[in-house]
Chain A
Amino acid sequence: MSRPSGRKAPPKGEYIETDSGNKVSRRSAITGTANITLGGRTVIMADVHLRGDLHPTRSTTSTTTSSSSKDVTPTSISIGRCTVISTGSTIKPPSRISRGAVHYYPMKIGDNVFVGPNCTISAISISSHVHVGANTIIHPFAIIKENVKILPNSVIPANMVIPSGSVVGGRPARVVGEVGEGWGVSGGGASGGLGVGGGGEKAWVEGGDLRELVRSIK
């Protein structure tokens, strides 16, 4: 960040690409990498903070089947395929008091989720095909179902459950509408394209397959 100007043209480009096609920016800030799962073809942009070190500590008390509880690394953040986390966002698992101690809970983000710039996310689960606008704050333990569009600058209160197909926005966020039929269907995507307006020229649309977008990020 405060590195002396123009960081000397990074030798191998901005992103480190893993075997499964994940692209992780060299300038992202990730702690606790062992506790983070990326599904493949997922993009983590610059200045994104993933707090994998805040992982669940409960696993030892669960069933006796896993006697080797020591070497099992608990997952704290799992992100699906073709998900894009834009610059400046922070993803931090939620925590709460349970049985007299604070515990962190594993959070899950589905496939084809787009997270806009400068978001702070502590949801317990975000399903697939969700579009999160810029500067959105998602408080702990919110649950977001499939095909949801979150408008920019929203604040999703803690424990809110957003039903699938809704559009939410505001401070605090409320359901303000439905995404309607054909949302997320890009022009060349699924065969029964329904002729969505506006999505024609772009290779990807909100809530649609982000594969093209991921491919275009170098």
Chain B
Amino acid sequence: MSSQPAARPSADRRTSAIQKRVSILPKPSSMVIDPSVLIAQHAQLTGTHPITIGPNAVLHPHCKISSVQAPVVLGEGVVIYEKAKVGVGIGNADTESRRSSVVPSPGSRDSLRVDGTVLGRNVVIETSTVVEAAEIGEGSVVEVNAVIGQGCVIGRFCTISASSVLPPNTHLPDFTVVYGASERRIDYTTQARPELQEAKMMMHTKQIEIFKKLVPNNVTKWTS
């Protein structure tokens, strides 16, 4: 992560981040953002809990990440498209009023997994989706307008097709495809052929490459 050219003023930034983490408590959200992240203009990161963004993640304009109720962790290469909302409680409008009832966990590392939102490597969150899931596994795709309820745990290489709605606390095994009127099946092809999975990941990295070419980066707004 931090092995990137640290010549820039990032050094003092980092110390300030550490201070925040020492004095933790709910004050401002501590943000750990890898230098290779692409955050477009108008992307929104809000909340009181920590937000962690792994290398090569891409946040498109007008996407919203909220850690008001629980931490958010975006893995390596996560792509979040415009108007998508990620974070526990972001689906309901009255998040602010409910915040008091949620006990903020005092910064212990493993608690991130329990009550936060964790998106695995190369997860794609499409336009206008609402993701409040606890965990989404590597290589999964959440398509346009889908809604994923709180506490959902989604396995690796799943596809949640357009406009699907997953009720809270749904658990999906790896390679599940959710389609139509919340019907499900297992994508055996991808499951049986690891080379296909690799091809998907390769396509994904190429997609990120083109985003880095086309979308202006505004990451400094969030790292400084």
Q: Interface residues, chain A, CB within 8 Å of chain B?
A: 29, 31, 49, 51, 53-55, 57, 90, 92, 95, 97, 100-104, 118, 120, 135, 137, 139, 153, 155, 171-172
Give the contacting residue for A102; candidates B40, B83, B161, B206; CB below 8 A.
B206
Q: Is B42 an interface residue (CB 8 A)?
A: yes
The minimal Cβ–Cβ distance linking A18 to chain B, given in whole angstroms, is 22
Q: Is B128 an interface residue (CB 8 A)?
A: yes
Chain B count of residues within 8 A CB distance of the other chain: 26
What is the chain A residue whose CB lies nearest that of B81? A92
Q: Interface residues, chain B, CB within 8 Å of chain A?
A: 40-42, 61-62, 81-83, 127-128, 144-145, 161-163, 180-181, 203, 206-207, 209-210, 213-216
The minimal Cβ–Cβ distance linking B29 to chain A, given in whole angstroms, is 17
Judging by beta carbons under 8 Å apart, are A49 and B82 in contact? yes
Judging by beta carbons under 8 Å apart, are A31 and B61 in contact? yes
Judging by beta carbons under 8 Å apart, are A90 and B82 in contact? yes
What is the chain A residue whose CB lies nearest that of B145? A137
With A and B bound together, what is the CA distance between A171 and B178 in angstroms?
13
Judging by beta carbons under 8 Å apart, are A57 and B127 in contact? no
Judging by beta carbons under 8 Å apart, are B206 and A97 in contact? yes
Interface of B is mostly: loop
Judging by beta carbons under 8 Å apart, are A57 and B42 in contact? no
Total of A-B residue pairs, C-beta within 8 Å = 67
The minimal Cβ–Cβ distance linking B181 to chain A, given in whole angstroms, is 8
Judging by beta carbons under 8 Å apart, are B210 and A104 in contact? yes
Q: Which chain A residues border B210 with CB–CB below 8 Å? A: 57, 95, 101-104
Give the contacting residue for B62; candidates A49, A55, A120, A155; CB below 8 A.
A49
The minimal Cβ–Cβ distance linking A100 to chain B, given in whole angstroms, is 8
Q: Which chain B residues border A102 with CB–CB below 8 Å? A: 203, 206-207, 209-210
The minimal Cβ–Cβ distance linking B50 to chain A, given in whole angstroms, is 22
Q: Which chain B residues border A171 with CB–CB below 8 Å? A: 162-163, 180-181
With A and B bound together, what is the CA distance between A95 and B128 in angstroms?
18
Judging by beta carbons under 8 Å apart, are B128 and A120 in contact? yes
Q: Which chain A residues border B42 with CB–CB below 8 Å? A: 29
The minimal Cβ–Cβ distance linking B126 to chain A, given in whole angstroms, is 8
With A and B bound together, what is the CA distance between A51 and B216 in angstroms?
12
Show 9 residue pairs from A and B whose CB-CB distance is below 8 angstroms, ordered by the A residue: A31-B61, A49-B127, A90-B82, A90-B83, A90-B128, A95-B210, A102-B206, A155-B163, A171-B180
Give the 3 A-B CB pairs with smallest separation, nearest first: A102-B210, A102-B206, A120-B144
Give the contacting residue for B163; candidates A29, A97, A103, A137; CB below 8 A.
A137
The minimal Cβ–Cβ distance linking A104 to chain B, given in whole angstroms, is 7
**Beyond A92-B127, A153-B163, is A53–B216 a contact (Cβ under 8 Å)?**
yes
